[in-house]
Chains A and B, each alone.
Chain A
């Protein structure tokens, strides 16, 4: 039972981080593609 809870929390942690990281990385990528103009 506790193993199931622990597994569920691991999945929840992964999903939570993906929830914020995916849009964040999209934003970073949009920024990075502008940088070559600097050099």
Chain B
């Protein structure tokens, strides 16, 4: 397995660091397909006559497996390196589609759940964290921008997958055989697309330094900053970031989860039902774009203004924007659109900036493993967000129009305020928790 190990991919002198972002994007644009599950879900529902609850199972299991595998395999990813991780992600993610295709061909739906959900979900988790620490080492001068590019890819993956899935389903049909063909083509296609990632990725040599000095104006970082993943999870800083990520994601999901219905409820009286429905679909699309672009723009901005300040923006202004929608949004399309787009850009940016925040607090030593453990906050938000929005809105079915969302949006504001307070409580890690400086070069031993 030497070809996949970290030692086999140390960059030779003169290697361009600008080859690493496309390697990361090849993986993240592929695994971002998860956000386009709804297209396949509709095909499965129409073709096999399955209920929405049953066709949601593969996606739900995949998100749970994403958080669990990122948390469990994070340390191994740090030890074995990004090529190993990207290769494993390719194998698991593609195998998920191929096992699902087999299940559909055999009429065994449980194989779709196990294939896409369990195997594919492991591919998502390993793939999501695979390039993070490598990018931050190559772009120590711009870590927020670097992780922003990769994680923007995860947000943009659905943009590619959605029309492709639509076209494949139209070409093959939604019979069992047609669905199997769609899944098989996607499995093979993603295996090829992702291979560029593990073939291209390189780690910098130990003596390599970025062309620009790391930006330390906003937050001074000590040279010997290195906290192990095992120690990090015992520190309040980790759990404060966990709360920040969880509540920021929950607040974004609050809007994303029911965007179509929210738009219709706010603007039901602005035109014929058909026009409003078309506008609502366009609203959902433009939210995806804001989610994606926010990951790059705000995360890059954090390199200049600092991580704590940018989370003040995400959480503080995010809470105010929810308030603006509640008070001024009804019938006022411009205000509603601007506020919604900013909220979704903060949602995406929260994901993209967190690795750089972790680096500032714990160093790059095992940042991938720490990031993996932090992603359990995403799994929790994936349960909490829909619960807050759907349960409350459904319970208020007798209320019409924007008032239907007053309680759930107020809860979102409260969660964002709690996240804001958590961000204010974040302090630098006491140097007594740093890994002994004589130990850090022996990365593999320490990680074990």
Contact = CB atoms under 8 A, between A and B. Distances in A.
Q: State the main secondary structure of chain A at its contact with B.
A: helix
B288 interface: yes
B382 interface: no
Given A20-B25, A20-B153, A31 B288 contact: yes
Interface in B180-196: 193, 196
B171 interface: no
Interface in A1-37: 2, 5-6, 9-10, 12-13, 16-17, 19-20, 23-24, 26-28, 30-31, 34-37
Nearest to A30: B163
Contacts of A20: 22, 25-26, 29, 153, 196
B282 A16 contact: no
Contacts, number: 77
Interface centre among A20, A35, A36, A38 (most CB of B within 10 A): A20
A38 to B, nearest CB: 4
Contacts of B337: 38
Contacts of B286: 31, 35, 38
A13 B153 contact: no
- By size class, the interface of chain A is 20 to 34
28 contacts: A12-B200, A13-B18, A13-B22, A16-B19, A16-B22, A16-B23, A17-B18, A19-B196, A20-B22, A20-B25, A20-B153, A23-B193, A24-B153, A24-B159, A26-B163, A27-B159, A27-B161, A27-B163, A28-B156, A28-B289, A30-B163, A31-B159, A34-B281, A35-B286, A37-B278, A38-B283, A38-B337, A39-B279
